[in-house]
Amino acid sequence: MDTNEQIESILKDLTLEEKAGQLNLIPIEGTPTEEQLQMIRDGKVGSVIKSNGVENNLKLQQLAVEESHAGIPILFQEDVIHGYKTIAPIPIAEAATWDLEAIRKSAAVAAREATASGIQLTYAPMVDVCRDPRWGRLLEAAGEDPYLGSLVSAARVKGFQESNPKNSNLLGCVKHFAGYGASLAGRDYNIADFSERELREIYLPPFQAAVDAGVASLMCAYTAYDGVPLTANKFLMQNVLRGEMGFKGLVMTDWETIPNMVKIGVAANDTMATEMAMNTGIDMDMTSQKYVNLIPFLVKSGKISEEQVDQAVRQVLLLKQKAGLLDDPYVLFNKERETSELLSERNIAETKDIALKSMVLLKNENNTLPIKNDVKKIAVIGPFAKAAKDLLGWWHMMGDANDVVTYWDGIKKEFPEADISYAPGCEIDSFRVAGRELIPQAVKTAKKADLVILILGEEYWMSGEGGGVASLHLPSAQEELLAEVAKTGKTIITVINSGRPYILTEVAENSDALLYAWMPGTTGGTALGEILSGKYNPQGKTPMTFPYHEGQIPIFYSYRKTSHAFIPGISSNRYTTTYRDIQHEPLYPFGYGLSYTTFEYSEIQLSATTMSKTGSLQASVKVTNTGSVKGNEVVQLYLHDKVCSVTRPVKELKDFTILELEPGETKTATFNITPDKLEFIGIDYKKTLEDGEFDLFIGTNSANCKQAVFKLDN
């Protein structure tokens, strides 16, 4: 039977109530209630969230297939954001690798484990571009840049969906469409208000990348665009998503966003909200049960047509078909596969690989790192030294703290000859004032050591959904702890466990070396140990600007040109777009990260200084490893349109490549400049190409580049 025939033959036998049931997604956490079981028997449940494991999901599947009238299998969905049982670094950390193949593989690990455990769809990738580190959810996405974000988005979709096409791929659900990352002031679920130009330049590209990569489904955001909640926003959900972007898959709400429309005040009651969502083309209702309860009434009263309902049901059935459930509802429920897949050797190894690549070396004064292997006494200090769950992040699915290699374990393993002591340093409390009592004991421990490794940061719940913060200084007394330990004059290596960029201005001043570990997942301690010992040379680069001061937020590298530009190095910048009281620059720019070796860039060579609108040109630099160890360098290409009919960013990332260089070795990085790299969203909101000069930058980060100029001509 061809795929459409299979779906149509199921659809034609369904009652209106059963059709509405297919659009219903309910949470079943732990043991199902009798009411939930009855809903399944009655054909009122199409999909389930929060039920995991072959054993649990098989029972529910048997109930749906064998005891409901239509016998349609359930689609099990979950937040498999960065791992299921083997937990990878949080997505913002994965983005810091700039290594798309490692990112794809990491998503494939998650897909193998989740599908082996009875899940067929994940609510990932989350591709919301975010420029405000106060927003807790930025950890799930790829940072501030739409270009990097787009490549990461596509890599993750491919990793989830192509992990093993033989019925063990995990369907993706790209989210949250669109502009949720613009939540005002970093407060979750807040209003977001931005221009159509920003929508198209910044927020849509990573969604387009997911669509082009074949993502199976999409979730709309809690927020509104131009004042209209996404669940009812026909402009975005129809004209843009279906029309311009060409998305053909299923669209679902976020958690209860249908009744939320009543709370927001755009619908008078749930019936009206349900009608609005259906008329906007939202196919699936996450958890509110408004579709299952109200659709039959809306059809019977003529507010929506049965054909609209059929269209949505086709989308659901198509997902079930893609997951292999329509051919064999039990295909994914195999206890043996589950046992052998979870935490398998291969999954651990691939997760460790990306954890190594994700850590960013922010400071390394006097080559403090790597730690020399003859070090005698190390003090490991800090509230995160022995943490386990805090390495897993907010969305850690079935990740278990007992499986985590702690930083302490990782350090002990790498330095077996050293005498290693420990002090917690301070207690963690959400407020900065608390937790000082343990500082004196930490200072004593530091005094007895040759070298101090301070492990600071935030607990897993402090970022993530609802994890907005006003202060971006490390919680509790951690900065005081560091300042007191620094007074001992010992060499200090500071490691930060975190879901967001913190303000590290004083932390960096008080540290000889500073390494951002993010929340590195199950194998985080092993990765840290191998980096500290020099077994692995760090290559991570910041996917987000690290502010110097909270008052700079939002701060990002690709701001539009202004008339009163700040000019570095001059004596007065009074009449410029800057602050009077702090430095203009961030602490660490976008794309920044050090290595244990050094890289030297040649001037840029252009194959031509003019290119035509249908042609291309090549820009290359020679990069030399001028240090004494092998290293990987992420070489970055940025462009700037010098004269344009709309204001353009001073720099935009357009390409990058990773070079692996032995000491003394030189390699050439060549970038192909094609017209699509020069396009912008024109005055009419269409992609446009304009003649004129472009600045071209190639460098080691967004603030440190070589520069050349070329011209686009007819």
Q: Is 188 in the site for ligand BGC (CB under 6 A)?
A: no
Please identify, using beta-carbon distances, which residue of 254 and 458 lies nearer to ligand BGC.
254
Least Cβ distance, residue 465 to ligand BGC (angstroms): 6
Q: Is 526 exposed, middle or buried (0-12, 13-18, 19+ CB in 10 A)?
A: buried
Please identify, using beta-carbon distances, which residue of 206 and 525 lies nearer to ligand BGC.
206
CB-based closest residue to ligand BGC: 123
Q: Is 415 in the site for ligand BGC (CB under 6 A)?
A: no
Please identify, using beta-carbon distances, which residue of 282 and 379 lies nearer to ligand BGC.
282
DSSP at 33: P
Distance CA(472)–CA(456), nearest Å, equals 13
Q: Is 79 in the site for ligand BGC (CB under 6 A)?
A: yes
Least Cβ distance, residue 253 to ligand BGC (angstroms): 10
DSSP at 601: E
Kindly identify the residues of this chain, within the stretch 568-627, that bind ligand BGC according to CB under 6 A: none
**Residue 353 a catalytic site member:** no
Please identify, using beta-carbon distances, which residue of 221 and 245 lies nearer to ligand BGC.
221
Residues 567 and 576: beta-carbon distance below 8 Å = yes
Least Cβ distance, residue 503 to ligand BGC (angstroms): 26
Q: Kindly tell me which residue out of 194, 235, 255, 559 binds ligand BGC, with binding defined by CB under 6 A.
A: 255
Residues 54 and 335: beta-carbon distance below 8 Å = yes
Q: Is 175 in the site for ligand BGC (CB under 6 A)?
A: yes
Q: Is 123 in the site for ligand BGC (CB under 6 A)?
A: yes
The gap from C-alpha 308 to its chain's centroid, in whole angstroms, comes to 34
Q: Kindly tell me which residue out of 18, 99, 201, 254 binds ligand BGC, with binding defined by CB under 6 A.
A: 254
Q: Is 29 exposed, middle or buried (0-12, 13-18, 19+ CB in 10 A)?
A: exposed
Least Cβ distance, residue 262 to ligand BGC (angstroms): 18
Of 296, 377, 507, 397, the closest CA to residue 83 belongs to 397
Please identify, using beta-carbon distances, which residue of 356 and 462 lies nearer to ligand BGC.
462
Q: Is 396 in the site for ligand BGC (CB under 6 A)?
A: no
Kindly identify the residues of this chain, within the stretch 316-335, that bind ligand BGC according to CB under 6 A: none
Please identify, using beta-carbon distances, which residue of 219 and 245 lies nearer to ligand BGC.
219
Least Cβ distance, residue 254 to ligand BGC (angstroms): 5
Distance CA(405)–CA(438), nearest Å, equals 25
Please identify, using beta-carbon distances, which residue of 123 and 557 lies nearer to ligand BGC.
123
Query: Total residues contacting ligand BGC (rule CB under 6 A)?
Result: 6
Rg of the chain over Cα atoms, rounded to whole angstroms, equals 26
Q: Supply 396's token pair.
A: 């850690």
Task: Name the catalytic one among 79, 99, 254, 390.
Answer: 254
Q: b or e along 374-394 (b: 16 or more beta carbons within 10 Å of the residue's beta carbon)?
A: ebeebbbbbbbbbbbbbbbbb
Least Cβ distance, residue 660 to ligand BGC (angstroms): 36
Residue 182, SS3 per DSSP: helix
Q: How long, in residues, is the chain?
A: 714
Q: Is 132 in the site for ligand BGC (CB under 6 A)?
A: no
Q: HSE (CB half, 13 Å, CA atoms) of 1?
A: 11
Kindly identify the residues of this chain, within the stretch 427-456, that bind ligand BGC according to CB under 6 A: none
Least Cβ distance, residue 208 to ligand BGC (angstroms): 20
Distance CA(119)–CA(84), nearest Å, equals 10
Q: Pinpoint the alpha helices (H) of 202-344.
A: 205-212, 234, 257-264, 270-280, 290-300, 306-322, 335-341
Residues 322 and 555: beta-carbon distance below 8 Å = no
Distance CA(645)–CA(561), nearest Å, equals 12
Q: Kindly tell me which residue out of 42, 306, 450, 465 binds ligand BGC, with binding defined by CB under 6 A.
A: 465
Least Cβ distance, residue 344 to ligand BGC (angstroms): 26
Please identify, using beta-carbon distances, which residue of 222 and 415 lies nearer to ligand BGC.
222
Distance CA(446)–CA(429), nearest Å, equals 23
The residues annotated as belonging to the active site are 254
Q: Interface residues with ligand BGC (CB under 6 A)?
A: 79, 123, 175, 254-255, 465
